[in-house]
Chain A
Amino acid sequence: MRAPLSTAIAIGAGVLTLLGFFIPIEALTSMRSLLIEWAVLLAGVAGLVAIVHLLSVHWRKMTASHNRSVTSAFLLIAFGVTFAAGMVLKPGHPTVQKIVTHIQVPIEASLMGVLAISLTAAAIRLFQRRGGWMSVLFAVSAFVFLILGSGFLSSFANIPVLKNLLAAVNSLPVAGARGILIGVALGSLTTGLRVLLGTDRPYSG
């Protein structure tokens, strides 16, 4: 068996956490809380390690003798400035918060705006990419809910039939969503169990 110690730790920690989840005995629940706290801490440390790795990758790109990536330099500088400011001034400082609200927010929000255009273009080309009646239903449904979402029809709310019809149509997606969510839950269950059974060992690198 590969990585027996790690496998034992994964199974042990997982089983204890799981038991603490379903059996509300003080010993188990406190053990579960403790393990979750450790996991959150380790996730934080892993985040820092991965950030260092991200920087090293871009440093390599920047200093490569061929195909040198100039944009990587911008990444490293941006990181350096933000990190230094954050460490010195602390995250709550207005200047550090301005970095988020005046640099990160505009960029993210603009990317989201670009997504609106990309998705519209994708929707237009849907039938060019793939036919089939599922695509047709998807397009019809998207069209109907775009109209509903625009609030255009709510101007005709005084028509009782329309009101009931809209209510019925609005509840239709719930059925499919439930089916998908339950299916995803089943998949999550079996995937998680493979880790707890030790058949999946992604940590055995």
Chain B
Amino acid sequence: MAPDLLWTLIAFFLTILVLSYVLGDNALFRMVMMIFVGISAGYGAVLLFYQVIMPRLITPLVTAPPADRMVLIIPAVLSILLLFKLSPRLSVLGNPSMALLTGVGAAVAIGGAVSGTLFGQISGTISLFDLSGLSSAGSAISQLFGGIVLLTGTICSLAYFHFGARKKGEENTGAQPAIIQLLAGIGKVFIAITLGALFAGVLAASLAALIERLDFLINVIKPMIS
């Protein structure tokens, strides 16, 4: 049997077994899931070794000039300390490595949130009100109208998430001021529309995947039949 045909048959049967989940959870499906987890972990481990550990640690430690090697000693030590996480007793030794990872991760997240999303979305919303360079009054009005609708939606969606509530003595009433309730009510409408649109998008993407798989099955069976 040609190797390509063998690979195709493997893919064919795996597709069938996974699609059998439509009929309900079953032992074969669970078996395939475990194989899948194992294979992806194996491939991931190989990639991590060849694409991360080797080029970023081992190779430079061997080939880099002495000055760079001195710098590399720190991540090397931290990496070794991280290996202690495999032992419940000694796992505390890996905490400094995890601390560095968490600290840098938090900073990256803050940077992305502020300069990326926050500023990006605010400037994106404001730019809708840039009426300069519009040819006609009609287009200016329509853009202005569109801008106002989007601005209202954005503001109300933000207001919907307001957490603060009134306190009666020590008791949390959970009630919010009327104006926030009003804005939140409008915000809910926009959020529901957005989630609905995204849901349709997710359905479209997954439907495309289903169609592609079914087409694959047909293409495998067709030659066998004919």
Contact = CB atoms under 8 A, between A and B. Distances in A.
A107 B14 contact: yes
Nearest to A49: B85
B42 A13 contact: no
Given A78-B42, A107-B14, A193-B110, A171 B150 contact: yes
A109 to B, nearest CB: 5
Given A79-B42, A137-B193, A22 B34 contact: no
Interface stretch (B129-137, B164-172, B173-181, B182-190): B182-190
A107 B102 contact: no
A191 B116 CA distance: 16
Nearest to B188: A134
Interface string B124-154: 1100000000000000000000100111111
Contacts of A188: 109-110, 112-113, 117
Contacts of A112: 205-206, 209-210
Interface of B: 7-8, 10-12, 14-15, 18-19, 21-22, 30-53, 56-57, 71, 74-75, 78-79, 82-83, 85-86, 91-92, 95-118, 121-122, 124-125, 146, 149-158, 160-161, 187-207, 209-214, 216
Interface of A: 3, 5-7, 9-18, 21-22, 34-49, 51-55, 71-72, 74-83, 86-87, 90-91, 96, 98-100, 102-117, 119-120, 123, 134-135, 137-146, 148-149, 168, 171-186, 188-189, 191-193, 195-196, 202-205
